[in-house]
Amino acid sequence: MAADDPDAEGLWKNLLSEGVLQHFKEEKPSEFLHLVLKGVPESLRSEVWRTLLRARAAEIDAQVARGEKTKMSCLRNDRLCDFPPLSDVELDPKVSRQIELDLPRTFPEIPHFDLPKQQKMEQILRSYAYHEPQIGYCQGMNYIAGVLLLVLGNVADAYQAFVVFMNGFGLAGFYLDDLPLMLAYSFASLRRMKDSLPQLHDHFCEVKYRFPQFPVAWFMSLFVTILPLPLVKCFWDAVVLKGGPALVVLCVMTLRALRPILMFLGEDDVSFFFDAIKKPTSNSWLERFLLRLFKQELSACEGQNFQAEFVEVEKVLSQIPERCTDLEGLRTEFYFPSSSVLAGFLSQPAEPSEEVTSSPSSPLAQSSISTAATEAPRGWQLARQTLTAVSMELSWDVRDGVSDAMQRLHKILAKPERRRGYG
């Protein structure tokens, strides 16, 4: 998924070598976003992330100094690399025990994520829990620290990046007791799905699929536990650039890419499918299929389209109160359709014009209506063609070993359009 175009890689190298990457980002945001969505070259990703995250940390510090934003204390530069010896860090025994349990569970399939890497990850997690005891540690943070270590290499850089993710982007809200960010992002995903993917929304409603089952897992690990690692890195390119709300955009984009399959599945099959595609084996047929499918989706997503969706997501998030008073009600009632409890989830009632099924007020909503009939079959055809191409690439021995799963997916994608909610 990383950019392998020599011209694109040359451009990235020039931006980094001349020290103008941040200037290019600010002067030509649409072009830079499009460049990021095409994929940051794997060989340059660590330097690109390091540059962008340091700039974001400095930007947030400046906003705090001006009184425009309040963030947690460890964004301060003197804390970013402040690692007390692990033997001197006194944590709640439960926190320490959970970190110890999760170390060997993180990327056991990656040979070079060995004991030294695990020790560096432990240093990051324990140091963060030490500096931010009100947050501490929660499962899911280990995957974030692990990916940052894999990409950035240096433990100090990975810790700084981890702090920016948690405190600068506000992703620590995923791990607080009342799950404020999880509820907000799940609701925003539901709302944007209803606006831009109305057929899939209605299908999930029809089969009574409980929507939060998959966003929770996706957001808690920032897609690490669901998608191939090369694809996760591409997703994180957008998060590093745009911040937390990009996760909602990526969630909707994931649903759009998988829509040709999901439209045919019932409630139990949807759950089974999401479980079945979790972290496919490296270079397996499933990983190849997902990489190709999402590469097509990312390639089709121009910077302006991504930015337009990002703006819509921010609008939805701005309407959601920071704390929900009826947490238990939301946990039990967060299902399709989005009336009942969710009707009171917004601080202000939703304007009718915001719904795609009403009279849309935004170009994005209008586009959703005008292209719904043509985009769905096109996505279905692309998914079928992608699976066929992957199948043809495999040797007969490998193909025989996965024939049952591939044949089942072929059958799903071979159903007539009228059976898939498109007719």
Q: How confident is the model at residue 298, as a pLDDT? A: 72
385 compared with 271, residue with greater pLDDT: 271
Residue 353 pLDDT exceeds 90: no
Mean pLDDT over 293-303 rounds to: 72
Mean predicted confidence (pLDDT) in 110-136: 91
Q: Give the whole-angstrom CA distance, residue 107 versus residue 28.
A: 37
Q: Residue 275 corresponds to which tokens in the numbers above?
A: 């479980």
Dihedral-angle region of residue 201 (phi above 0 means left; psi in -120 to 50 means alpha; beta otherwise): alpha
CA pair distance 74, 197, nearest whole angstrom: 39
pLDDT > 70: percent of the chain: 66
**Taking residues 51-55, what's their average pLDDT?**
91
Gap between the Cα atoms of 133 and 141, Å rounded? 14
Euclidean distance between CA atoms 295 and 362, whole angstroms? 27
DSSP per-residue letters across 385-417: HHHHHHHHHS-HHHHHHTHHHHHHHHHHHTS-G
Q: Which residues of 332-357 are buried (b: 16+ CB within 10 A; e: fewer)?
A: eebbbebeebbeebeeeeeeeebbbe
Structure tokens at 380: 């279905």
pLDDT band at 410 (very low <50, low <70, confident <90, very high): low
Q: Does residue 227 contact residue 385 with C-beta atoms inside 8 Å?
A: no
The dihedral formed by the CA atoms of 294, 297, 302 and 306, expressed in degrees to the nearest 10: -80
pLDDT digit string (tens) for 189-245?
A: 888 988 899 888 888 878 877 665 667 778 989 999 888 899 999 999 999 999 999
Q: pLDDT digits over 326-335, tens only? A: 444 444 444 4
Q: Which CATH architecture has domain 72-169?
A: Orthogonal Bundle (1.10)
What is the per-residue pLDDT across 157-187, written as a single tens digit (0 to 9) for each? 999 999 999 988 999 999 988 778 888 888 8
* Rounded alpha-carbon distances, angstroms, from residue 247 to 112, 169, 312, 337, 382: 28, 11, 13, 23, 24
In the numeric block, the tokens 């030509």 are attached to 28
Closest CA relative to residue 285, chosen from 109, 108, 409: 409
At 147, the pLDDT band (50, 70, 90 cuts) reads very high
Question: Does 251 score more than 80 pLDDT?
Answer: yes
**Gap between the Cα atoms of 42 and 398, Å rounded:** 28
DSSP per-residue codes, 15-70? HHHTT-HHHHHHH-HHHHHHHHHH---GGGHHHHHHHHHHHHHHHHHHHHHTTS--
Do residues 356 and 254 touch, judged by C-beta distance below 8 A? no
Q: pTM for the whole thing?
A: 0.77
For the chain, what are the domain ranges? 1-57, 72-169, 180-420
Task: Specify the 3-state DSSP secondary structure of 346.
Answer: coil
**Radius of gyration of the chain from its Cα atoms, rounded to whole angstroms:** 22
Q: CA distances (Å), 371 to each of 192, 197, 256, 363, 422, in order?
A: 16, 11, 13, 12, 12
Q: What angle do CA 67, 186, 245 make, to 5 degrees?
A: 40
Helix (H, G, I), strand (E, B) or coil at 250: helix
> Which of the listed CATH numbers 1.10.10.10, 1.10.472.80, 1.20.210.10, 3.40.640.10 matches domain 180-420?
1.10.472.80
